[in-house]
Amino acid sequence: MTDDKPTPAANEARSLNFIEQIVEEDIRSGKHKARVHTRFPPEPNGYLHIGHAKAFCLDFGIAEKYGGLCNLRFDDTNPITEDTSYVDSIRKDIHWMGFDWGNREYYASDYFDQLYDLAVQLIKKGKAFVCQLTADEVNASRGTDFEPDKPSPYRDRPVEENLQLFERMKNGEFPNDSMTLRAKIDLSSPNMHMRDPILYRIRHAHHHRTGDKWCIYPMYDWAHGQSDSIEGITHSLCTLEFVPHRPLYEWFIRELEIFPSRQIEFARLNLSYTIMSKRKLLQLVKEEHVKGWDDPRMPTIHGLRRRGYTPESIRQFADMVGIAKRENVIDVALLEYCIREDLNKRAPRVMGVLNPVKLIIDNYPEGKTEYLDTVNNPEDPEAGTRSLPFSRELWIEREDFMEDPPKKFFRLSPGNEVRLKSAYIVKAESVEKDADGIITAIHCTYDPQSLSGSDEAKRKVKGTLHWVSAAHALDAEVRLYDRLFNDPDPDGHKGHNFKEFLNPDSLTILNHCKVEPSLGEASELDHFQFIRLGCFNLDPDSSVGHLVFNRTVGLKDTWAKMKQ
RNA sequence: UGUCCUGUGGUGUAACUGGCAACACGUCUGACUCUGGAUCAGAAGAGUCCAGGUUCGAGCCCUGGCAGGACAACCA
């Protein structure tokens, strides 16, 4: 066994995304002494969503894979939109996802002093100046693609004067927006970011961490790259919209002669039938199209958690979508696949009836209750068994009975037999209806010899139904969710607002569901598989005596597919 | 119009860096099943945006097009 060609499997295990390839090359060449250090830099001005999850799974994942570190760094350079409450939620979300940053929780605001000093350094080099143009005037001075910007009249202010003015800016001697510090680079650059970008602006605003110490705040380009350098970040991973910023990122490194972090960009996640813009998600919350950031229909981490998604399923998803530079739209079906697969292995099976109709077993003794054993999870022998109360009157799913069934209907219909899961085989005999012709009860008979597990129970019947004993059932509210938008790309239609595509049926509330009594002991957010129906979890809205379940995702339903 | 990024089955990602395109989701069969779930077996589906070129040989290299996206905030 010397010259085996690599098997496809081995090959695949070796296949790396383009960022891993870069990292491995750097390690091989001994760059930064083969050290790998990444960071996840959220701005604390909103909640994290699944797109961020893709990003921080990458940041933390790369560090983990190559024995490096990943910092959490809040990019808090804009006090008027940022808030400490967001810091808490972001921290919580990342922890919940299973990542840890040790004591390396940093803030761009931690570096305001150093950033200020670096700015002074840049001024001294003659590479930055204090500009007194108003925002409108700056915009008016902007050129076009082929026409350079008009130089600011303050562009050639002497270094000494710049130094003094910048210090006075810092000292709060000037009102908001009256001055900026701008880099002096290249007014005719085809890259607009190089046309004397603004580094600092004046904002007399209270900052959630630095309080009132500062009234000048650095812009993204100035703060982000330098923060990377200060932390010794080797690979600074960000999304594609920052590609044009990279020349500026590198210009600062060169001019300041600071640690050369490398910025690498990848394509952000897009999910079909949803939106990912923080601003637009905020709009959905504010305009009450959803009930909050943690509404189970939201693509936020908060929303997914409440919906019943597990950290493992989301990490699996992040892994499966891959990393590349081309625009992409991931099918939500992949996300659903990930949670089904995870919960299939872990979620205990229980019985719950969403749209109940009474099933009366005419030949079963009145007042009798049997306790029948049933397995908690066929995928997990360790999960054990529990007992279920069974009696003469049961609830079954209204959909599971048809008076006049089509040929492939494997459920209950007059004269036909069906297995009640973990119980007996029953045969439908007759129905009761109300004045409107709606079935109010189904009468059946059971075969006492057919109890699950008994020798006589080997008889095959075409279908198996879930059920709940009427006398023992608990009432429950069940919330069914459908996609929030009924268009695959709600934000992608020119001339149409994304809200036009909101799905009016994204939430269906069922109020009179019946669930097995064991569910009375469920805890908040516990996961279950309601047999034959889907994955559900207990919503925090539940209270003693009022159970509320969310449907995380339905089971694959080939019958539903056949009906179409 | 300028600069930059990107074009591989329906979707996403690969192709050990020149050797006739693989994996996953989705779709469709069939088997099995006390969940029409799961599991198992299998199938269909791209000749890699287009046109030239280099080469024995190109998705990978070169040239020229075309298409999509990003940028032009005192946001990040």
Asked whether the ipTM of the predicted complex exceeds the cut of 0.90, the reply is: yes
Q: Separation of CA A296 and C1' B32 in angstroms? A: 36
Q: How far apart are CA A405 and CA A408, in angstroms?
A: 8
Q: What's the one-letter identity of residue A530? A: F
Please list, in sequence order, all residues whose beta carbon lies within 8 angstroms of the beta carbon of residue A558, skipping any fewer than 6 positions away: none
What is the per-residue pLDDT for A146? 83
Closest CA to A195 of A210, A182, A179, A208: A182
Asked whether strand B has any atom less than 7 Å from the CB of A18, the reply is yes
Q: Separation of CA A274 and C1' B45 in angstroms? A: 27
Closest CA to A73 of A87, A84, A52: A87
Task: State which residues between 203 and 242 of chain A bring their CB within 7 Å of strand B.
Answer: 217-220, 223-224, 240-242
Confidence grade of residue A7 (pLDDT, cut at 50, 70, 90): very low
Helices A311-321 & A332-346, crossing angle to 10 degrees? 140
Encode burial over A166-199: b for 16+ CB neighbours within 10 A, e otherwise. Answer: beebbeeebeeeebbbbbbbebeeeeebbbbbbb
Q: pLDDT digits over A98-132, tens only?
A: 999 999 999 999 999 999 999 999 999 999 999 99
Asked whether strand B has any atom less than 7 Å from the CB of A411, the reply is yes
Size of chain A, expressed as the number of residues it contains: 564
DSSP symbol at A524: T
Predicted confidence (pLDDT) at residue A563 exceeds the cutoff of 70 = yes
| Domain assignments of chain A as residue spans, ordered by start | 18-266, 271-348+476-563, 352-466
Residue nearest to nucleotide B39 (CA to C1'): A379
> Chain B positions under 7 Å from a protein CB?
1-8, 10-17, 22-28, 34-39, 68-76
Q: Separation of CA A4 and C1' B56 in angstroms? A: 26
Task: State which residues between 467 and 526 of chain A bring their CB within 7 Å of strand B.
Answer: none
- So which residues of A are the catalytic ones? 43, 268, 278
Please list, in sequence order, all residues whose beta carbon lies within 8 angstroms of the beta carbon of residue A315, skipping any fewer than 6 positions away: A57, A97, A98
DSSP symbol at A348: P
Predicted model pTM: 0.95
Q: How far apart are CA A260 and CA A230, in angstroms?
A: 10
Burial of A304 (0-12, 13-18, 19+ CB in 10 A): buried
Confidence grade of residue A6 (pLDDT, cut at 50, 70, 90): very low
- Phi, psi angles (nearest 5°) of residue A398: -55, -35
User: Do A432 and A441 touch, CB atoms closer than 8 A?
Assistant: yes
Confidence grade of residue A209 (pLDDT, cut at 50, 70, 90): very high
Q: How far apart are CA A421 and CA A399, in angstroms?
A: 16
Helix (H) or strand (E) holding A22: helix A18-29
Predicted confidence (pLDDT) at residue A8 exceeds the cutoff of 50 = no
Domain A271-348+476-563 has CATH 1.10.1160.10: yes
Asked whether strand B has any atom less than 7 Å from the CB of A378, the reply is yes
Closest CA to A444 of A414, A468, A472: A414
Q: Separation of CA A441 and C1' B11 in angstroms? A: 46
The three-state secondary structure class of A298 is coil
Q: Where are the beta strands (DSSP E) in A364-405?
A: 370-375, 385-390, 393-397
Q: Separation of CA A19 and C1' B59 in angstroms? A: 20
A352-466: which CATH topology?
Ribosomal Protein L25; Chain P (2.40.240)
What is the per-residue pLDDT for A3? 30
Task: State which residues between 539 and 558 of chain A bring their CB within 7 Å of strand B.
Answer: 555-558
Mean pLDDT confidence for A521-549: 97
Mean pLDDT confidence for A319-330: 96
Closest CA to A245 of A182, A179, A195: A195
Closest CA to A525 of A539, A541, A512, A535: A539
Q: pLDDT digits over A28-55, tens only?
A: 999 999 999 999 999 999 999 999 999 9
Task: State which residues between 326 and 345 of chain A bring their CB within 7 Å of strand B.
Answer: 326-331, 333-334, 337, 340-341, 344
Q: Determine how many CB atoms are found less than 10 A away from the CB of residue A546.
A: 11
Asked whether strand B has any atom less than 7 Å from the CB of A198, the reply is yes
What is the per-residue pLDDT for A11? 40
Please list, in sequence order, all residues whose beta carbon lies within 8 angstroms of the beta carbon of residue A388, skipping any fewer than 6 positions away: A351, A371, A372, A373, A374, A422, A423, A469, A516, A518
The three-state secondary structure class of A49 is strand
Residue nearest to nucleotide B27 (CA to C1'): A561
**Half-sphere exposure (Cβ direction) of A518: Cα atoms closer than 13 Å:** 18
> What is the CATH class of A18-266?
alpha beta
Given the structure tokens 């190559």, which residue do they identify?
A: A66
What is the per-residue pLDDT for A564? 76
Confidence grade of residue A496 (pLDDT, cut at 50, 70, 90): confident
Mean pLDDT confidence for A14-41: 94
Instruction: Determine the nucleotide nearest to A9 by Cα–C1' distance.
Output: B23
What is the per-residue pLDDT for A457? 74
Q: Separation of CA A281 and C1' B44 in angstroms? A: 40
What is the per-residue pLDDT for A13? 55
Predicted confidence (pLDDT) at residue A10 exceeds the cutoff of 60 = no
Asked whether strand B has any atom less than 7 Å from the CB of A142, the reply is yes
Q: How far apart are CA A295 and CA A339, in angstroms?
A: 18
Mean pLDDT confidence for A214-232: 98
Cα angle A58, A42, A208; round to 5: 155
- Phi, psi angles (nearest 5°) of residue A159: -50, -45
